[in-house]
Amino acid sequence: MYALGLAARWLHLASAILLVGAATMIVLAGRSDRPTARRWEHRVLAGSRGLALMALGSGLAVLAVQTALFEGRAGAALEAGAIARVLIETQAGCVWLVRFGLLVILAALLWSRLSVERALDWRAARGQAVLLGAAALVPIAAAGHAAAVEPATARAVALDGLHVIGAGVWVGGLLPLALLLWAAADERGADARPYAVLAARRFSRVALGVVLVLVATGTLLAIANVGNVAGLVGTAYGRLLLAKLGLVLAALALAAVNRAVHLGRLAGDGPTVGRPAMRRLATFVAGEGLIALAILAIVATMSVTPPARHEAPAWPFAIRLSFRALEGAPAALVRVLVGSQVAVLGLVGLAAGLALRGRRLPLVAGALVVLGAGVGLALPPLAIDAYPTTYRRPSVPYQAASIASGAALYREQCASCHGLGGAGDGPAGVRLPRPPADLRAPHTALHTAGDLFWWLSNGIPAAGMPAFGRELSEEQRWDLVNFLRALSSGYAARGMGPTIEPDRPWLVAPDFTFAVGPTPPRSLREYRERRIVLLVLYDLARARARLAEIAGRDGTLALLGVEVIAVPVHDARDAIKRIGREPRVLFSVATEGSEAIAAAYRVFATAPHVEFLIDRQGYIRAVARGNGGAGDLDKTIAEIQRLNDEKAPPPAPEEHVH
């Protein structure tokens, strides 16, 4: 089924693209009275009729396979009812409907026996074929991966539409052009030779512009669908894209040779120069066209492969390059700087060598050596060990519940060696071949979440760190990774006090979920962009005075855009009852979810009573540690006003640690 669907997709894509290219090539070549030119036009038209039928037939096959996938059973592929449902009820179905309609009209136009003897009629009929072909091709973009890009879906669809239309003109035009050149290179085709040369020149000019558009849109689409290097080398989609790029480069190299060498030689007249050159050009153009068909086969495979952005990449190399490696290593920094300058020098030399006519070879060779030396100097210090999971994104978001379970797991499994506080000072760690890592240290930030996940799963044999891949589930290991992130950022936050640093957010507040009584649960995330959150971790036995103080200024805080969320550290279930009549607390008191919140946020500050000021972007900006006595709420309000005065809010943090 998969192979059948793939073959149908390839046939459909190729025929739809060739339809556009054939029609465009005819228009580009223009009308001619030469018999050979006319014969060529008729042959291309006859081919187009076949292509239109093939596009319709293979399109139906793709639709049938898609229906089977949607319905989840192979039998649905042949049921008219199921197909009709897909056509009418899904976006991809609507796209098919529109495209089928346009293809049928195009087929009718191609089969009709309209007279095109007069120039106006010819232009109208041939132009219409281009228009209908393009209109039937472009909507593909609205049913492919581009339609699933979030955000900026419309932009991605527009780019994809441009990309396929460009592919139609370039890729689709190659084979018809090769046919024309062959016909004209023939002994009996002499009458069409000037026509063919003109057509080749026009196509070459148009193709240059189109290729630029293809490269630009292709790059932007690759960024949207793949995102980063890890996605490119570590996922099936990324590797297909690399294969496509390789073939594209081959086709472009052929195109460059055609443009620079073969096209110029057509000018020579007579059978000795012109005809052999033309035949060679035809062969090269046909070769380009065949590579293009292979590219389309890869594109068809990509269209049924989940985009890299939605996959967990498996990093294939033992190292990766990162500027983080330079932190705290000034000597390496100098080396990288010098190396990069040498490399730039090499690039300049290379450009000069290519631009100059004389002494090109020694210049280019010298420049390449300099470039290589620069790269060799600059890159090694940037290398960091990497593992297959290095670029995996955590499947568990950075949330209080995950951090809390991670903290519990840490106490059970890790604290004996790494120490309760993570300083690497656990009693069992003394006997290990290498002292256990200090998990609070800033170097933890040097490693990706995927690195930590790898070590947790597979251990570090040389250091005596055991593997937990069997003992702990994947989710538990991500919980630990989230806890470790909280631990190291908590350590970095130990100096954070009750005053904010304006415009300098860095400490991400882990998301959490809480509920007040039987009301539906709410999360911190829901307040993003809307409210500042004052998160109060309190112990009722000592915090009554402070709660009363906050409750007394309820209205002021609400006016300043503050949502107060009080989280009891004990006896959450009847927390509201325990507060009772006095003070009259009307802000949110978490009766559910408080344990996880307290456990996770305790990693950032351990005082008996802690208040976190969380800005609208979801960053912890100030931490007030106390013992629960009434303090000076005016100070807190002053900090809130400073938050409100911040001009450009920084972007919200991502939901997952990196």
Binder to another protein among 432, 586, 634, 635 (CB under 8 A)? 586
Options 309-317, 534-542, 571-579, 597-605: segment touching another protein (CB under 8 A): 571-579
592: which DSSP letter?
B
Measure the CA–CA gap between 439 and 308, rounded to whole angstroms: 31
Residue 224 makes contact with another protein by CB under 8 A: no
DSSP 295-306: HHHHHHHHHTS-
Residue 115 makes contact with another protein by CB under 8 A: yes
Residue 105 makes contact with another protein by CB under 8 A: yes
Residue 383 makes contact with another protein by CB under 8 A: no
Binder to another protein among 259, 279, 578, 625 (CB under 8 A)? 578
Measure the CA–CA gap between 23 and 611, rounded to whole angstroms: 70
# residues near another protein by CB under 8 A: 35
Write phi, then psi, for 568 (nearest 5 degrees). Answer: -75, 140
Residue 107 makes contact with another protein by CB under 8 A: no
Residue 541 makes contact with another protein by CB under 8 A: no
For residue 511, the one-letter residue type is: D
The contact mask relative to another protein for 282-301 (x = CB under 8 A, - = no) is: --------------------
> Toward another protein, which CB reaches closer, 117 or 150?
117
Question: Are the C-beta atoms of 317 and 266 separated by less than 8 Å?
Answer: no
Options 384-392, 461-469, 528-536, 578-586: segment touching another protein (CB under 8 A): 578-586
Measure the CA–CA gap between 636 and 498, rounded to whole angstroms: 8
3-state class (DSSP) for residue 549: helix
How many CA atoms within 13 Å lie on the side-chain side of 259?
A: 14
CA-derived radius of gyration, the chain: 33
Residue 495 makes contact with another protein by CB under 8 A: no
> Toward another protein, which CB reaches closer, 205 or 573?
573
Residue 574 makes contact with another protein by CB under 8 A: yes
Binder to another protein among 114, 334, 352, 369 (CB under 8 A)? 114
Measure the CA–CA gap between 299 and 313, rounded to whole angstroms: 20
Options 108-116, 367-375, 392-400, 638-646: segment touching another protein (CB under 8 A): 108-116
What is the distance in angstroms between the CA of the first residue and the CA of the last residue of the chain? Answer: 38
Compute the least distance from the CB of residue 558 to another protein, in Å: 11
Residue 607 makes contact with another protein by CB under 8 A: no
Measure the CA–CA gap between 468 and 478, rounded to whole angstroms: 12
DSSP 171-239: HHHHHHHHHHHHHHHSGGGGGGHHHHHHHHHHHHHHHHHHHHHHHHHHHHHHHHHT-SHHHHHHSHHHH
User: Strands 609-614 and 619-626, how do they pair?
Assistant: antiparallel
Measure the CA–CA gap between 52 and 456, rounded to whole angstroms: 57
Residue 127 makes contact with another protein by CB under 8 A: yes
Residue 326 makes contact with another protein by CB under 8 A: no
Measure the CA–CA gap between 303 and 309, rounded to whole angstroms: 14
Compute the least distance from the CB of residue 176 to another protein, in Å: 21
Residue 516 makes contact with another protein by CB under 8 A: yes
Residue 418 makes contact with another protein by CB under 8 A: no
Residues that bind another protein (CB under 8 A): 105, 109, 112, 114-116, 118, 120-125, 127-128, 516-520, 522, 574-581, 584-588, 591
